[in-house]
């Protein structure tokens, strides 16, 4: 039976979407899913290989398939002449695959923002850009061997622990050079790209558009800072929509709203009970007009913690609107109790 063009397109699309999940059993998986013969599946896999979409690794009865990845690498020396827009225009843009306008704009924004951070803040002599492209995604990796982003934030804000630097990144609006920067680049780039990770020494910051921001111990000392950001080529992200969600020019310059994952305050085996913990959480909240406190992953907070955030801070900053979200019944009751006082 001859398959229609629509069915063939569906089979190839399925192969592309599932090759990462079934690299060693791709053929059998497609056979079972579409209930077609193995020779038919192999025919379409081979066509995708000829089209430069897939690659075949190994021979015999169980080859391994993968998306074909195009890799480009660049190295730069930081000096007074280097500029992120020139790097984008002369080196990056010409090698990118054809993209929709919204994805191209997202790549332009994210790449130039992260490169500018390296140039202005890393204190490194050199940095590197690696670009990986397959038929589904584009990944940018920007790395340097400078001071390290978490250590620099820790130093500027005089924080006790570099992990607290990640909380400040999650809030947004932090910059070590307020005269020349707004501190918006990392915040908005992490919302625009499908995957966004910063690794520095033994810590990593993980952000994505769903606002699931976490830190984790990498387990090894990775010198300097490495930023990895991936966007899907079919992403429907619109930068204007992301900006509009957090900004309102009628209220104040820059963005006025942030969402803070409270679980970043928790160390393993530790509960959020004290005023000192609360004071670290609310640091720089006065820079915003609206702060959403996301309690996802937090089971309980103490009376002193709640009182410091929802009574003391709120009384001192009545123009800052605090909105708790994803609270347990216990946390909700503690917030109500603190607010009534």
Q: pLDDT for 123-176, tens place per residue? A: 999 999 999 999 999 999 999 999 998 888 888 888 877 778 888 877 877 666
Q: Are residues 39 and 124 in the same domain?
A: no
* Residue carrying structure tokens 């002369």: 90
Q: Is the pLDDT of residue 216 over 60?
A: no
CA distances from 128 to 60, 111, 220 (A): 39, 12, 20
pLDDT score at 158:
85
Q: In the prediction, which pLDDT does 201 show?
A: 82
Residue 182 has pLDDT above 70, yes or no: no
pLDDT > 60? residue 234: yes
Could you tell me if 76 and 211 lie in one domain?
yes
pLDDT-derived band at 223 (thresholds 50, 70, 90) equals: confident
Burial of 117 (0-12, 13-18, 19+ CB in 10 A): buried
pLDDT at residue 316 tops 70: yes
pLDDT surpasses 80 at 304:
yes
Output the pLDDT for position 34: 92
* Residue ending a domain, choose from 67, 87, 106: 67
Q: Name which of 50-59, 144-153, 215-224 the model is least confident about.
A: 215-224
Q: Which tokens is 267 given? A: 């160390």
Q: What is the pLDDT of residue 261?
A: 85
- Assess whether 209 and 335 both reside in one domain: no
What does the pLDDT read at residue 329? 93
Domain membership of residue 251 (yes or no) is no
230 in a structural domain: yes
User: 90-99, 208-217, 249-258 — which is least confidently predicted?
Assistant: 208-217
Q: Which helix or strand (DSSP H or E) is residue 44 part of?
A: helix 38-50
- Give strand pairing partners of 204: 199, 216
Same domain, 232 and 260: no
**Which range of residues forms the domain containing residue 57?**
5-67
> How confident is the model at residue 213, as a pLDDT?
46
| Number of other residues whose CB lies within 10 A of the CB of residue 261 | 25
Q: What is the pLDDT of residue 154?
A: 86
Q: What pLDDT, on the 0 to 100 scale, is given for residue 220?
A: 61
Tell me the backbone φ, ψ of residue 316, rounded to 5 degrees.
-80, -20
pLDDT, position 297: 85
**Does some domain include residue 249?**
no
Dihedral pair phi/psi, residue 181, rounded to 5°: -140, 155
Residue 122: pLDDT over 50: yes
Residue 11 sits in a domain whose CATH number is: 1.10.10.10
Looking at the fold, whether 117 and 208 belong to one and the same domain comes out as yes
Please check whether residue 246 lies inside any domain of the structure: no
- For residue 187, give the nearest of 206, 171, 176 by alpha carbon: 171
Asked whether residue 248 is assigned to any structural domain, the reply reads: no
Same domain, 209 and 101: yes
Q: How much is the pLDDT for 250? A: 61
- CB count, 10 Å around CB of 252? 12
Residue with the larger pLDDT of the pair 177 and 147: 147
**pLDDT recorded at residue 46:** 94
Instruction: Determine the average pLDDT of the residues in 265-276.
Output: 78
Query: Which of 191, 214, 241 marks a domain boundary?
Result: 241
What pLDDT is attached to residue 178? 58
Answer yes or no: is pLDDT of 327 > 90. yes
pLDDT at 212: 45
Residue 47, pLDDT > 90, answer yes
Q: Do residues 123 and 140 share a domain?
A: yes
Q: How far is CA 64 from CA 44, 50, 133, 208, in A?
A: 15, 16, 19, 30
As a whole number, mean pLDDT of residues 41-62 equals 89
| 90, 176: one domain | yes
Which residues, in sequence order, are bridge partners of residue 55? 66
Percent of the chain with pLDDT over 70: 89
* pLDDT of res. 116: 92
**114 and 185 part of one domain:** yes
pLDDT of the residue at 219: 55
pLDDT score at 254: 58
Mean pLDDT over each residue of the chain, to the nearest integer: 87
Last residue within a domain, chosen from 241, 269, 304? 241
| pLDDT-wise least confident of 49-58, 68-77, 262-271, 329-338 | 262-271
Residues 76 and 219 in one domain: yes
- Statement: residue 271 has pLDDT above 90: no
Pair (176, 31) in one structural domain: no
């Amino acid at each position: 039976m001859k398959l229609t063009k629509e069915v063939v397109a569906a089979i190839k699309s399925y192969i592309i979407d599932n090759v990462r999940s079934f690299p060693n059993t791709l053929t059998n998986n497609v056979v079972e899913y579409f209930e077609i013969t193995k020779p038919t599946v192999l025919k379409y896999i081979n066509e995708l290989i000829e089209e430069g979409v897939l690659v075949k690794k190994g021979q015999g009865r169980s080859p391994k398939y993968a998306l074909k990845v195009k890799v480009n690498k660049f190295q730069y020396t930081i000096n007074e002449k280097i500029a992120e827009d020139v790097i984008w225009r002369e080196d990056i843009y010409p090698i990118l695959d054809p993209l929709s306008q919204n994805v191209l704009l997202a790549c332009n924004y994210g790449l130039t923002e992260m490169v500018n951070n390296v140039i202005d803040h890393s204190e490194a002599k050199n940095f590197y850009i690696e670009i990986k492209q397959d038929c589904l995604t584009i990944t940018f990796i920007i790395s340097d061997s400078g001071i390290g982003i978490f250590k620099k934030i820790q130093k500027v804000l005089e924080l006790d622990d570099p992990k607290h630097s990640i909380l400040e990144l999650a809030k947004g609006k932090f910059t070590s050079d307020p005269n020349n920067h707004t501190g918006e680049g990392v915040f908005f780039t992490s919302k625009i790209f499908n995957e966004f990770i910063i690794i520095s020494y033994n810590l990593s910051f993980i952000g994505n558009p769903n606002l699931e921001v976490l830190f984790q111990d990498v387990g090894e000392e990775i010198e300097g800072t490495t930023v990895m950001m991936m966007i899907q080529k079919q992403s429907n992200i619109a930068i204007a929509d992301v900006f509009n969600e957090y900004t309102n020019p009628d209220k104040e310059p820059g963005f006025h709203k942030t969402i803070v994952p409270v679980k970043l305050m928790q160390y393993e085996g530790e509960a959020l009970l004290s005023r000192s913990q609360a004071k670290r959480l609310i640091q720089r909240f006065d820079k915003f007009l609206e702060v959403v406190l996301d309690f996802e992953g937090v089971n309980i907070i103490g009376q002193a913690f709640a009182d410091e955030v929802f009574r003391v801070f709120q009384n001192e900053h009545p123009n800052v609107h605090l909105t708790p979200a994803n609270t347990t019944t216990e946390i909700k009751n503690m917030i109500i109790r603190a607010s009534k006082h």
